[in-house]
Amino acid sequence: MFSGPVTIEQGVLAFTQPSTPANASGIEIRPGGQLLLISQSNEEQPIRNYAFGGTIHMAGSGRSGVAEGQGMGVLGAIRYEPGSHHNSASLANSLVLTSDASIHVDGADNTLVLDGPVSGTADFSKSGGGTLILNADSPHLQGSVAIANGTVAVHGNVSAPFVLAANGQLTGSGRTGPVSGAGLIRPGTHNLTAYSASGVTVQAMLPEHPGKLVLESIPEGNPQSLILELFLQDSAFVVGSRPRAGVFLAGPNAVAQLAEMLDVRLYLADEQGGFRPANASDHWTWSMVPHVVQSGDGSAINGAVVELLRLGLPTSFQQWVSLHYPQPEQRQDPAISAPHADPQHSGISQLARYALGLGPNDAPQAVGLALSAHSALEVSFPFNPHAADLRYHLQGSSDLLLWHAIEFDQPVDPTPESSWITVPVAIDNSAFFSSAHPTARPVTHRHFYKCNLGPNRCF
């Protein structure tokens, strides 16, 4: 029984799964050498489990002596090439990178699973159209992970930075370090956590794949924005549906930060079995809203997520803007979409229209503050119970210069009965005037009231 070391200095050393030297003291792959795994799956063994003896120390990007592109399997210090479709294999060993090294998975529907950790200070790359699955935690992998093409699925904690080429794809249910590049992130059915992300495109298909990309922070410096592409099976959502999907960002300022960093694009299923870009007549809108996710240890993480809305009442100013201004150039024009913009020149800002439940061209009816005196003096003002991102600030003044806050409980349940708020105020021996006519007649006391709109304190 062989129990010594195996060293691959040049060329290829190929193993079927039954021929694996399980009692070897270790495997060393030097630059120019290649460990080739060739066993195919079958009904009795849908996953071919390779378990070499010892640790695998690896370096290099593949076999030497043959030019790439000759169809002779050059790429990969470790290469999985079973020679047919729909195969899976696993490698139980720990991998140590002694210098920059790569793994190649040949064939778009073939999969290689790494059940052991990867460690080392060198960079690690994956090539080939197939899928490489990282199952184990790899806290000692200190270099970067590059995905040249194909897919890498992370199910453990791999804190190294990931760089995605245009044909590279990242998925899984684990955790990664910072992610950058021009490739795709597809979380799938479970959440994938990353320290940060810049420049990549995030894709999700709803409702089949509700998993989110959970971002722990925003990138430092001047990161590129993220593109979020959401593919919707429109018939699966009823009127008023508010699915939350795509990207979650942690942090106390996540709503504003997520809105700034995301370019959201919606696509709906068409009659030909594909997808088309959504338009205004589809009545789908989106916004960023507060949200909580569970971390790996079960603790709650507060932040913000993308919420979609189908034919419902907007619950955020951003959603109101995306509902009434479907064209990107309109949403990006501050003269149209800024909270205090008034493109209609009506004297009512866009934020006030949202708060009053009005559209851009709706004429306001009776709006403003109202005073009444029954058993006590009361101030009433219109309230939009669906506007979860607004906080109403009632203030009073006797001289229009110094204003003091009047505390009250803002309703939290969106019911039709709560479209106005009435607040009792206690003032003795006072006369009251409209601020439009503060000097209508002399009095000893004058009191004025106003209601300001601001972000909800939970933001």
pLDDT tens sequence across 2-51: 999 999 999 999 999 999 999 999 999 999 999 999 999 999 999 999 99
Q: Measure Cα distances from 42 to 19, 48, 86, 211 in Å.
A: 17, 9, 10, 31
Torsion of CA 297, 302, 303, 308, to 10 degrees: 90
**Closest-CA residue to 379 (of 358, 406, 355):** 406
Gap between the Cα atoms of 376 and 395, Å rounded: 18
Contact (Cβ atoms closer than 8 angstroms) between residue 435 and residue 371: no
For residue 284, the model assigns a pLDDT of 86
Gap between the Cα atoms of 188 and 203, Å rounded: 9
Question: Mind listing the pLDDT tens digit for each residue in 53-83?
Answer: 999 999 999 998 666 555 558 999 999 999 9
Question: Mind listing the pLDDT tens digit for each residue in 296-325?
Answer: 777 899 999 999 988 777 878 888 887 788
Contact (Cβ atoms closer than 8 angstroms) between residue 273 and residue 279: no
Domain borders along the chain are 5-290, 370-455
The distance in angstroms from the start CA to the end CA of the chain is: 66
Gap between the Cα atoms of 255 and 197, Å rounded: 16
Question: Mind listing the pLDDT tens digit for each residue in 96-154?
Answer: 999 999 999 999 999 999 999 999 999 999 999 999 999 999 999 999 999 999 999 99
Length of the chain equals 459
